[in-house]
Chain A
Amino acid sequence: MYVYDEHDRQMMAERVAQFRDQTTRALAGELAEDEFLPLRLQNGLYIQRLAPMLRICVPYGMLRSVQLRRLARITRDYDKGYAHFTTRQNVQLNWPDLEDVPDILAELAEVEMHANQTSGNCIRNTTTDQFAAVQSDELVDPRPYCEIIRQWSTFHPEFAFLPRKFKVAVNASEQTDRAAIRVHDIGLQIVRNEAGELGFRVHVGGGLGRTPMVAPVIREFLPELDLLTYLEAVLRVYNRYGRRDNKFKARIKILVKALTPEGFAEKVETEWAHIKDSPTRLTPEAIERIQGYFTEPDYAALDNATDLLAQQRFENRGFDQWLQHNVDTHKKPGYAIVSLTMKKTGTPPGDVTDRQLEQIADLADEFSFGEVRVTHQQNVVLADVPQNRLLELWQELGPMGFGTANLNTLTDIICCPGGDFCALANAKSIPVADAIQRRFDNLDFLYDLGEIDLNISGCMNACGHHHVGNIGVLGVDKKGQEFYQVSLGGSSQHDASIGKILGPSFAQDDMPDVIAKIIDVYVNKRTDEESFLDTYRRVGIDPFKERVYA
């Protein structure tokens, strides 16, 4: 994992001092509200419905145990003793005081954390696959490229006031896309060309929000060393020509659509031709240097514990279910990837207490080289667990509340904080998630249904990624009443698609029934091997419509 050197440390300290100065001026009335707004947003600070909200950056989802313990302490000292894992692999505090934020940032800086550019119209945290470097089907570890992008985008002087927010995601797996790159402003798929050289397939102009779009390919192959100059060209074209007259049309996807992908690509190529050999061009040494931080942990030489696990599974059904659903295959023999689910019914998806943060830190130290990864599905991954200790880990997880064996099932819901917390929300989302989780409390039934992404957003801004849920739920406001619109058929995978709206929206109380009817249709129509998405794609939306609105 990346470790700061004296340059990073100095700039982060300077950033804290700068924000302290800005906060002082804001509190003294020297900065108008609209002038302070982009400054505080670019330090992660929103003013929310009930209190400020601080979004802390977790670069590409990686956290060390010492950082988790510091987060726990901060939630105790400055907040109400809990935090929230977001759908952007970040962490949010819901109740800090504005005057305390510079102190919180200083405490974060001590453990190499920050809240830079977690909000505002700038380049946000670059995200990637939570299984980076531990799965067998990836070309290379994507995280060094994320770190290179992090450094390039941090305090970039030209791109601090873009037309709108800007999100980059990187994926290196050939089979799966856990980073949902095609619904990002820039999605980078790491590929090799015919000559065997490493590079990126560049997608530009995806996104959710009001006008969801799947990003088209702008360049089939971008050589590795050209990464930053090309990003700079894309950003410069966007900064100059992206719309600034209408907030809802300001994302790069609108520009790409207006110019057509070909027209946009041509503009980028023209700009890039001027700067591709500039000093921003990466060097092999620079990449190797960053890669040097992402070396393999000190794996023991283990064999797969196949027999042991088979016996343990036979003796313990709960362990068997958990292993089947929450544990993934690791590239190293004898190791496993474990997902801790933050989706226990009765707790808002992604919420963790200070004590739980410390427990996760302890688990990381004990079982997984002291590191964890936060996922955009709001879960936490222990990436390097020895197989012969899985049972022991599972036994510890249960009482902590991270052992619900529902990963990737209907109740592993992605859910934004919604109207309970967020000033932007039209409707509450947490109670809807809770009601659905309560309705579908039979694990065997959930397993029989297989993988289903159910995503809930409390408003158009789509923090809950409802457009790309196999089942998407969007909170809408109808004359002051909260209603919920349902869409079907979304996917954030390589075959990314935007869900189709089922029809008129529903009252909150009806939502569990509506979901149950949708599931009924799937169960009746599916063939043996079909997932929910397969069935939907085969039979279309009509059978669902007929049943739900019957």
Chain B
Amino acid sequence: MPDIIFRDGSIRQNQWVVVPRPDSGESLNIPGHQRALIPADLWLAGREHFVGREDIGVWFDSHDEPEILADHVNELPLIAVNFPKFSDGRGYSIGRLLRERFGFKNELRAIGDVLLDQLQFMKRCGFDTYELRPDKDIRKAARSLNFFSQGYQAATDTDLPLFRRRAS
């Protein structure tokens, strides 16, 4: 599995495998020996079975509604959000909702078509790990995460938009 970028720019080994949504009629195939991310709605459907397990997390697709887990986010060790295409920006809203509205405190990961130039936005929207598309140069990630030393807006990373910092 490709390595994972952390928000501080460090690169570590990936511990999680993404389990795709099963075709209709098929059952979910969770590997026994590995930490696994399963579709969020399926986790919810089997919540009694999964809750408390540190080796099971979930993933949302960009068109999914994170609201379905509103009351349960912190029962999960990791939530991933899929960016099916880098130009699909819905995942940024999902990230902010999970963090700012539902108070998710554990690891939030960006998966899918994750390229270097999205990392800065993902970081500001609450993502703390990133699975870069394998053909991209992971050694450039730290630079891409840190082009900007500040932003104008409040987002997940700061409660202080620039207009409030200027006032103080």
User: Hey, which bits of chain A sit against chain B, CB under 8 A?
Assistant: 5, 7, 10-11, 14-15, 17-18, 21-22, 30, 35, 38-39, 121, 148, 151-152, 154-162, 236, 239-240, 244, 274, 278-280, 282-283, 285-286, 289
Contact = CB atoms under 8 A, between A and B. Distances in A.
A285 B143 CA distance: 36
Interface string B106-121: 0000000001011011
Contact of B96 (A155, A158, A285): A158
B92 A157 contact: yes
Given A239-B90, A286-B163, A158 B125 contact: yes
B22 to A, nearest CB: 24
Contacts of B87: 38, 121, 161
B153 A156 contact: yes
Interface string B148-168: 111111110001111111110
15 contacts: A11-B151, A21-B147, A30-B137, A35-B86, A38-B86, A38-B87, A39-B117, A157-B120, A158-B125, A160-B121, A161-B86, A161-B89, A161-B118, A280-B153, A283-B167
B15 interface: no
Given A155-B152, A161-B89, A7 B162 contact: yes
Contacts of A152: 152-153, 161
Given A239-B93, A279-B154, 7 more contacts: A5-B166, A11-B149, A11-B150, A160-B89, A244-B90, A280-B161, A283-B163
A437 B118 CA distance: 48
Interface residues of B, number: 40
**6 closest A-B pairs (Cβ-Cβ)?**
A161-B89, A157-B124, A286-B163, A18-B147, A157-B121, A279-B154
A289 B154 contact: no
B122 to A, nearest CB: 8
A381 to B, nearest CB: 28
A159 B121 CA distance: 9
Contacts of B137: 30
Interface in B26-48: none
B3 interface: no
Interface of B: 86-90, 92-93, 96, 100-101, 115, 117-118, 120-125, 136-137, 143, 147-155, 159-167
Contacts of B124: 157
Contacts of B122: 157
Contact of A286 (B96, B121, B149, B164): B164
Contacts of A157: 92, 120-125, 151, 153, 155
Contacts of B167: 283, 285-286, 289
A162 B143 CA distance: 25
A155 B117 contact: no
Nearest to B160: A279
A244 B121 CA distance: 20
Please indicate which of the listed interface residues A154, A157, A286 has the most CB atoms of chain B within 10 Å of its own CB: A157
A7 B150 contact: yes
Contacts of B165: 7
A159 B87 CA distance: 11
Contacts of B118: 161
A115 to B, nearest CB: 16
Say whether chain A's binding surface is mostly helix, strand, loop, or mixed.
helix
A289 B120 contact: no
A158 B155 contact: yes
A236 B97 CA distance: 10
A9 B143 CA distance: 20
A106 to B, nearest CB: 15
Nearest to B143: A21
B16 to A, nearest CB: 24
Nearest to B84: A244
A152 B155 CA distance: 11
Contacts of A240: 90, 93
A161 B100 CA distance: 20
Contacts of A158: 89, 92-93, 96, 121, 125, 155
Contact of A283 (B152, B159, B164): B164
Contact of A159 (B89, B148, B162, B164): B89
B166 A7 contact: yes
Contacts of A244: 88, 90
Contacts of A10: 149-150
B93 A236 contact: yes
A240 B152 CA distance: 22
Contacts of B101: 274
Contact of A14 (B136, B148, B154, B164): B148
Contacts of B88: 161, 244
Nearest to A39: B117
A15 B117 CA distance: 12
B139 to A, nearest CB: 12
Contacts of A151: 152, 162-163
B148 A11 contact: yes
Contacts of B148: 11, 14-15, 18, 155
B154 A280 contact: yes
